[in-house]
């Protein structure tokens, strides 16, 4: 397969091939990527256990993610290093002058500044909030230290208060390591979250945080009588939850929703198992809720943002296999094959490298253009526009007070009907280009998005493509069909196509049909999306009724995002009626323009068409 598609892909990329050949091409790419793009940075994969796992870790997740792998307790746990999708021998963290060639601030201003809001019309803002919600599940590099900064050169005419701009360095992992391995030339950076898909954004990445969000009664998480999360006692304006950095109301809505879902799962489990104690209820609900979020991400969010028949199929294959969920429900798994019966419940497998998320994975999830600057808030019953706000008014320390003026269902409705920004050049939210963090630090996240890749040695666009075995682009015209962009990029990078930053290339390149982000980003994604399922014991070997209970397994298999929303906010039913995917633009309630609703039904219709075709193949 490698030989055949290798030849074909020299001329044409997978998405240019007809379905279902495109699907076979995708599977082939994933096999290649597994073979050639998984690397350990500092530690080898352990093949034998050296330590006996604690009994509770066998059937439950542990805060911080230790003991997911029973032979290697530290794998994927909080504070362990990111690994790479690129041979570490070829990783070169950039240093000045290259680090600032060209200045990341220039790149931000010249190429990323939003000229006009370019919406992603096939999606709703819930999809934007969702990916941030999940990023917080997976990774965070920490805040860095105020005294260790990089000085970003800045034009005299720039109205940024500091010249140069000071940006905190990412804290390298090597310094804190006592095994003498050193920091491998500064390519190891720690993840303050657990790498596992374990819902740490809700449940915390350590015991202390987890204790703070638990009620210790009936397995439940804390939530107010008013249906809102509690306030974080240490951070005014912010909710109390497992991870509450970068806070705004969209995140708050999702955290509220899945906190409620956790508690609903606890209720169902308790009903069947009245004698279970708080810990067992909590542990099991945690497993179920985490698996549900992973499923929603895999079979709903992803096909929503990459609305392509091959992808639709591939994602369902990942989850439930070529044979589909119905066959699996009726006759169970057909052996261990992940192709026939999906990754869920197949044997755990790391494909030769310890499971840790990668720096490249972090890079391709830089999707800040999804965030709009100007927000419209509606009342869900009448559909009436009640308020318009700028992002800063509904984010960070303003979040809770902003939300006090609304029912959560109004906010979710508003997220459901409005579009996020398209992930392209010149669509970076103004608010994030001049963003005051909750601790008062002023930052340009666009500058950061560029600088972080350089700092961490994530290659620039062309080198990155080569690492992913994609063809290099030879000229600015080949990079993008948008001539004005081609000129601007050429100017900023002084005619050197090989200097173009990964983010800029990804935002500039033409997208495959139906895609919300680039094919280049997608290469990392096809590898890592399946890996974060396949490496996790609780999605594979231990995705069983014995560990989850049958109720838990059924809950995961039978619930979709729409069900979660309607379970807790049934008043939103009219907007979600008939929607095949909760991340597509919802129906607007009457009183709004007909255009809106007809465009949402058009998107839904196309989506249903693709889904049907994909299901026909899957069946």
In the complex, the residues that contact other proteins under the rule CB under 8 A are 473-478, 483-484, 487-488, 490-491, 494-497
Query: Among residues 385, 486, 464, which one has the least CA distance to residue 84?
Result: 464
> Phi then psi for 349, rounded to 5 degrees?
-155, 130
Which is nearer to other proteins, 510 or 609 (by Cβ)? 510
| Helix (H), strand (E) at residue 605 | helix 594-618
Closest Cα partner for 532 from 312, 363, 371, 294? 294
CB nearer to other proteins: give 483 or 513: 483
Please say which residue, 205 or 473, places its beta carbon nearer to other proteins: 473
Minimum CB separation of residue 115 from other proteins in Å reads 12
If one counts every other C-beta atom within 10 angstroms of the C-beta of residue 366, the result is 22
Residues 515 and 306 sit within 8 Å (Cβ to Cβ): yes
Cβ-proximal residues to 52 (8 Å cutoff; 6+ apart), any chain: none
CA 475 to chain centre: 31
Q: How many CA atoms lie within 13 A of 262 on its CB side?
A: 32
Closest separation in Å from C-beta 476 to other proteins: 7
Catalytic residue among 15, 100, 136, 426: 136
Q: Closest distance between other proteins and the C-beta of residue 480, in Å? A: 12
CA dist., res. 228 & res. 400, Å (int): 9
- For residue 499, the minimal CB distance to other proteins (Å) is 9
DSSP 109: I
Q: How far is the CB of 491 from other proteins (least distance, A)?
A: 8
Q: How far is the CB of 461 from other proteins (least distance, A)?
A: 14
CA distance 37 to 58: 30
Q: Is the Cβ of residue 56 or residue 496 nearer to other proteins in the bound state?
A: 496
Q: How far is the CB of 482 from other proteins (least distance, A)?
A: 10
Measured from the Cβ of residue 48, the count of other Cβ atoms closer than 10 Å reads 6
Cα–Cα distance between 387 and 409 in angstroms, integer?
A: 15
What is the spatial distance between Cα 589 and Cα 407, in angstroms, rounded to a whole number? 16
CA neighbor of 458 nearest in space, from 75, 82, 29, 80: 82
Q: Is the link from the previous residue into 65 a cis peptide, with omega within 30 of 0? A: no
Q: Which is nearer to other proteins, 155 or 478 (CB)?
A: 478
Nearer to other proteins (CB atom), residue 121 or residue 482:
482
| Residue number with CB closer to other proteins (40 or 101) | 101
Task: Give least dist CB 426 to other proteins, A.
Answer: 12
Q: For other proteins, which is the closer residue by CB, 35 or 478?
A: 478
> Min. distance of Cβ 427 from other proteins in angstroms?
17
Name, in order, each residue with C-beta under 8 angstroms of 343's C-beta and a sequence gap of 6 or more.
318, 319, 530, 533, 534, 539, 540
177, 183 in Cβ contact below 8 A? yes
Residue 236 and residue 5: Cα distance in Å, rounded? 55
Residue 184 or 499: the one with the smaller Cβ distance to other proteins is: 499
Please, which residue, 139 or 476, has the CB nearer to other proteins? 476
**Which stretches within 480-560 are classed as H helix?**
483-492, 502-508, 519-534, 545-548, 550-558
Sign of torsion over alpha carbons 61, 65, 67, 68: positive
CB of 497 to other proteins, least distance (A): 6
CB 600 within 8 A of CB 584: yes
- Provide the minimum distance between the beta carbon of 486 and other proteins in the complex, in angstroms, as a whole number: 8
Tokens representing 328 are: 């699996």
Closest to other proteins by CB, 213 vs 497, is 497
Q: Which residues contact 157 (CB under 8 A, 6 or more apart)?
A: none
Contact at 8 Å (CB) between 565 and 412? Answer: yes
Query: If you search the block for the tokens 């028949």, which residue do you land on?
Result: 309
Are the C-beta atoms of 294 and 539 separated by less than 8 Å?
yes
159 by Cβ neighbours in 10 Å (0-12 / 13-18 / 19+) ranks as: exposed
Catalytic residue status for 136: yes
Give catalytic residues, as residue numbers.
136
């Amino acid at each position: 397969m490698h030989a055949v598609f290798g030849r074909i892909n020299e001329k044409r990329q997978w998405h240019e091939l007809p379905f279902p050949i495109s699907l076979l091409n995708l599977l082939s790419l994933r096999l290649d990527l597994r073979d050639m793009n998984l690397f350990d940075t500092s530690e080898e994969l352990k093949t034998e256990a050296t330590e006996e796992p604690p009994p509770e870790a066998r059937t439950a997740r542990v805060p911080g993610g230790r003991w997911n792998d029973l032979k290697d307790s530290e794998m994927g746990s909080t504070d362990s290093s990111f690994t790479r999708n690129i041979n570490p021998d070829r990783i070169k963290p950039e240093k000045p002058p290259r680090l600032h060639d060209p200045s990341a601030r220039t790149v931000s201003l010249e190429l990323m500044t939003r000229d006009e809001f370019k919406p992603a019309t096939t999606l709703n803002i819930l999809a934007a909030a969702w990916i941030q919600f999940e990023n917080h599940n997976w990774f965070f590099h920490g805040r860095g230290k105020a005294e260790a900064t990089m000085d970003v050169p800045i034009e005299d005419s720039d109205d940024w208060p500091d010249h140069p701009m000071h940006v905190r360095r990412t804290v390298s992992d090597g310094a804190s390591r006592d095994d003498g391995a050193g920091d491998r030339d500064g390519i190891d950076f720690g993840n303050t979250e657990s790498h596992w898909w374990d819902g740490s954004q809700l449940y915390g990445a350590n015991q202390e945080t987890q204790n703070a969000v638990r009620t210790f009664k009936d397995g439940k998480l804390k939530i107010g009588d008013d249906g809102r999360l509690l306030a974080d006692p240490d951070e005014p304006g912010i909710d109390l939850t497992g991870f509450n950095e970068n806070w705004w109301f969209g995140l708050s809505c999702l955290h509220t929703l899945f906190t409620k879902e956790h508690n609903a799962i606890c209720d169902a489990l308790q009903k069947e198992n009245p004698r279970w104690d708080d810990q067992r209820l909590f542990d099991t609900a945690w497993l179920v809720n985490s698996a549900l979020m992973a499923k929603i991400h895999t079979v709903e969010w992803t096909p929503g943002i990459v609305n392509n028949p091959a992808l639709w199929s591939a994602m369902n294959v990942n989850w439930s296999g070529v044979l589909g969920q119905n066959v699996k429900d009726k006759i169970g798994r057909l052996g261990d094959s992940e192709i026939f019966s999906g990754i869920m419940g197949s044997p755990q497998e790391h494909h030769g490298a310890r499971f840790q998320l990668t720096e490249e994975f972090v890079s391709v999830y830089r999707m800040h253009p999804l965030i709009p600057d100007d927000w419209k808030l509606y009342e869900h019953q009448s559909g009436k526009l009640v308020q318009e706000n700028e992002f800063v008014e509904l984010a960070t320390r303003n979040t809770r007070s902003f939300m006090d003026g609304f029912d959560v269902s109004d906010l979710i409705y508003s997220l459901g009907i409005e579009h996020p920004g398209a992930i392209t050049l010149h669509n970076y939210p103004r608010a994030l280009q001049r963003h005051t963090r909750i601790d008062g630090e002023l930052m340009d996240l666009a500058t950061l998005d560029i600088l972080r890749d350089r700092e961490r040695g994530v290659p620039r666009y062309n080198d990155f493509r080569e690492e992913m075995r994609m063809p290099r682009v030879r000229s600015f015209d080949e990079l993008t069909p948008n001539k004005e962009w081609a000129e601007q990029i050429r100017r900023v990078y002084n005619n050197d196509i090989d200097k173009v930053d990964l983010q800029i290339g990804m935002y500039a390149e033409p997208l495959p049909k139906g895609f919300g982000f680039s094919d280049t980003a997608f290469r990392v994604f096809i590898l890592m999306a399946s890996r974060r399922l396949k490496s996790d014991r609780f999605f594979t070997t231990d995705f069983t009724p014995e560990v989850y209970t049958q109720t838990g397994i059924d809950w995961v298999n039978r619930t979709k995002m729409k069900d979660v929303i309607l379970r807790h906010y049934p008043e939103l039913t009219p907007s979600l009626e008939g929607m095949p995917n909760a991340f597509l633009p919802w129906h607007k309630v009457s009183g709004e323009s007909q255009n809106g609703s007809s465009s949402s039904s058009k998107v839904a219709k196309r989506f249903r068409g693709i889904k049907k075709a994909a299901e026909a193949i899957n069946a």
